Amino acid sequence: MSDRSLNALHHRRKKLADLINFPVILWSGCRTPRNYPANLFPFRASSHFIYFAGLPVENAAIRLEAGKLELFVDEAPASSILWHGEMPTRAEIAQQIGADAAFPIAELGARAKGAATIAVQDATTYWQQCQILNRVVSTANALSDIDLELAKAIVTLRLQHDDAAIAELRQAAACTVDIHLAGMAATSPGKTEAEIRAAMESVAIARNMTCAYSSIVTVHGEVLHNEHYHHLLESEDLLLADAGAETASGWASDVTRTWPVAGKFSATQKDIYQLVLAAHDACIAQVRPGVEYRDVHLLAAKVIAQGLIDLGILRGNAEDLVEMDAHALFFPHGVGHLLGLDVHDLEDLGDLAGYAEGRARSDRFGLCYLRLHRPLQPGMLVTIEPGFYQVPGILTDPERRDRYRDVVNWECLAQFDDVRGIRIEDDVLVTATGNEVLTSALPTQVEAIEQLAIARV
């Protein structure tokens, strides 16, 4: 690890010590079996462990107290050399991550008294946490006592990325730009979604990165978390791709582009695309310290509502329409979320990171899926991802059709039936005075998208 990275780690450990006055144990977790014990899913260390340890060490724990780090990990058994090659020793790992001491896992129990922790995601390690701490470790919805205090302290740290984090996030973003360029270049009518997905994900694999989440590569963009890839691409389709790289040490990117399969938007597709892009651009222009992220979301809603009025799909005045959640018929999700080690950063802690203290989710149709409701601060990385979708489950719902019967022009909407789903998403870093779009190398303009989508052989 570079001196700079080590300094960043020491700084994080010290800052944690400034916020709490009890010891902390963080587990990295273990690989989970796929179909039998020796066939495992790839390892993904707990993000909290990575944040303070810097390295995704399997089956390890760290104990943090007063800025010092103790590493707990077992040596690889001698027989593992045949199967896995020479493994780093405990001492080598300890040196690499700048540990102040290192012990076998068996000694963790004796050092566990009074320690706070965060529940890991794999059930096997979670039970170990409970056993070693000799108590039920609380999870996201029921965090309490020192675990809650620890979670709040970690949120404080992880909300605002330091330079070492931002360097990693830039790497993830750069790879993600190339993932999408590869997707556009690979697209043509008659291929399957799976083929485009392969072209995109192979960019990450080739750089020893992974995908930060299950890629969405679909001509049915109206299914928000679509994980099917079997459709054929038809000439008149739009392809919506939401895919992002994660660096080897776990930092994520999250980008969506929507492009025409045949390289050219239809007039109706272009109309809707332009209004989503207008929302995207207007929101990004608002991102700066002090701005309430919920206001950015409401701005997206208003720009989309106004655009739909201009196209004749909605009737009335944009502010009133947003007030009655009419925009959410077509833009039913939040405008974005925190991004960092997790693609929905810190979401393992529920809304603790996303919602400022004292705030809770609204139950309004147009706000309930908003994942971030805080004033923006320098060093925060957020996504901006407005969209337009024709979700049959929403638009054919009798109750909603009745409620919004006066404000939707259904005949007009029918003319836009070649637009099932459009989303445009970028990763936006809040800077001291404004923002920087980490994924700006990937174009958003209609003409540029058409050029890229048609540049293929």
Q: Is the dihedral of CA 284, 290, 292, 295 positive or negative?
A: negative
- If one asks whether residue 364 binds its own copies (CB under 8 A), the answer comes out as no
Q: Is 343 in the site for its own copies (CB under 8 A)?
A: yes
CA distances from 69 to 16, 48, 66 (A): 11, 14, 9
Among 136, 206, 285, 455, binds its own copies (CB under 8 A): 206
Of 228 and 264, the one with the shorter C-beta distance to its own copies is 228
Which two three-digit tokens encode residue 135? 């108590």
**Per-residue contact track with its own copies, 14 to 33, x per CB under 8 A?**
------------------xx
Q: Check binding of 163 to its own copies (CB under 8 A).
A: no
Give the amino acid at 356. A
Which is closer to its own copies, CB of 55 or CB of 102?
55
Q: Which helix (H) or strand (E) holds 450?
A: helix 446-454
Closer CB to its own copies, 102 or 276, in the complex? 276
The residues, any chain, with a CB within 8 Å of residue 169's CB and separated by 6 or more, are 161, 251, 252, 253, 339, 340, 381, 427, 429, 438
Backbone phi, then psi, for 16, in 5-degree steps? -65, -40
When asked if residue 365 is in the footprint of its own copies (CB under 8 A), the reply is no
Tokens for 243, please give them: 């895919």
Q: Which of 218, 221, 180 is nearest to 199 (CA)?
A: 180
313/73 Cα distance (integer angstroms):
60
Q: What angle do CA 298, 394, 223 make, to 5 degrees?
A: 85
Q: CB under 8 Å to 40, separation ≥6 — which residues?
A: 31, 32, 33, 34
| Residue 124 or 235 having the CB closest to its own copies | 124
**189 is a site residue for its own copies (CB under 8 A):** no
Q: Which is nearer to its own copies, 66 or 81 (CB)?
A: 81
Number of helices and strands in the chain (H, E): 15, 16
- Binding-site string for its own copies from residue 290 to residue 329, where x marks contact by CB under 8 A and - marks none: ----------------------------------------
Considering the complex, what minimum distance in angstroms separates the CB of residue 171 from its own copies?
A: 14
Name the region of 76 (left: φ>0; alpha: ψ -120 to 50; beta: rest): beta
Q: Alpha-carbon distance 405 to 398, whole Å?
A: 10
Token pair, residue 336, equals: 């974005």
| Residue 270 tokens, joined | 């272009």
Query: According to the binding rule CB under 8 A, does residue 35 interact with its own copies?
Result: yes
Shortest spacing between CB 227 and its own copies, in angstroms? 8
Q: Is 426 in the site for its own copies (CB under 8 A)?
A: no
Q: Which residue from 20, 155, 391, 454 is in contact with its own copies, where contact means CB under 8 A?
A: 391
Q: How far is the CB of 9 from its own copies (least distance, A)?
A: 19
Residue 214 interacting with its own copies (CB under 8 A): yes
Q: Binding residue for its own copies (CB under 8 A) from 271, 342, 427, 450? A: 342
Token pair recorded at residue 222: 């109206």
Three-state secondary structure readout of 355-395: ECCCCCCCCCCCCCCCCCECECCCCCEEEECCEEECCHHHH
Tell me how far CA of residue 92 lies from CA of 42, 46, 178, 182, in angstroms.
23, 21, 35, 39
Closest to its own copies by CB, 140 vs 412, is 140
Q: Which of the 8 DSSP states describes residue 33?
A: E
| Residue placing its CB nearer to its own copies in the complex, 103 or 389 | 389
Least distance CB 195 / its own copies (angstroms): 4
Closest approach, Cβ 80 to its own copies, in A, equals 9
Q: Which of residues 92-151 bind its own copies (CB under 8 A)?
A: 121-124, 127, 140
Minimum separation from the CB atom of position 242 to its own copies (A) = 12
Binder to its own copies among 17, 224, 356, 395 (CB under 8 A)?
224
Cβ-based nearer residue to its own copies, 1 or 309: 1
Total of chain residues touching its own copies, rule CB under 8 A: 67
Rounded to the nearest whole angstrom, what is the least distance from the CB of residue 196 to its own copies in the complex? 9
Listed ranges 107-115, 228-236, 277-285, 449-457: which one lies at the site for its own copies (CB under 8 A):
228-236
Taking the complex as a whole, the smallest distance from the CB of residue 108 to its own copies amounts, in Å, to 20
User: Could you give the 3-state DSSP secondary structure of residue 256?
Assistant: strand
In the complex, the residues that contact its own copies under the rule CB under 8 A are: 32-42, 44, 46-47, 78, 81-86, 121-124, 127, 140, 192, 194-195, 197-199, 201-208, 212-214, 220, 222-230, 250, 332, 341-344, 346-348, 391-394
